[in-house]
């Protein structure tokens, strides 16, 4: 887009300027939106890790309760 704007300068200076600045804005917005997307993916993976930790803790505590219940019966 930025390189194409230089070709547009030959036809119209205003069109070339608009294309040039549009290209720069597109690059900046693209980088920012990519960063936001990757951060959201990282957040989702962290949420998944925390849910797995909670599930593991719950199953471990249930196993301990079962073991203590069988010990009191014997």
Determine the Cα–Cα distance for residues 40 and 26; give it in Å rounded to an integer: 21
Domain that holds residue 34: 2-73
For the chain, list residues with pLDDT below 50.
none
Residue whose C-alpha is closest to residue 24's, from 8, 48, 4: 4
State the pLDDT at residue 61. Answer: 81
For 62, list phi and psi in degrees, rounded to 5: -65, -40
State the pLDDT at residue 19. Answer: 87
Determine the Cα–Cα distance for residues 25 and 28; give it in Å rounded to an integer: 5
State the pLDDT at residue 26. Answer: 94
pTM of the complete model: 0.64
Q: How many structural domains compose the chain?
A: 1
Q: Which position has the token pair 């600045």?
A: 21
């Amino acid at each position: 887009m930025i390189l194409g704007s230089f070709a547009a300068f030959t036809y119209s200076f205003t069109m070339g300027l608009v294309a040039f600045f549009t290209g720069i804005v597109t690059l900046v917005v693209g980088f920012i939106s990519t960063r936001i997307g990757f951060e959201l993916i990282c957040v989702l993976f962290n949420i998944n890790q925390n849910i797995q930790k909670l599930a593991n803790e719950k199953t471990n505590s249930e196993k301990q309760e079962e073991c203590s219940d069988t010990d009191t019966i014997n």
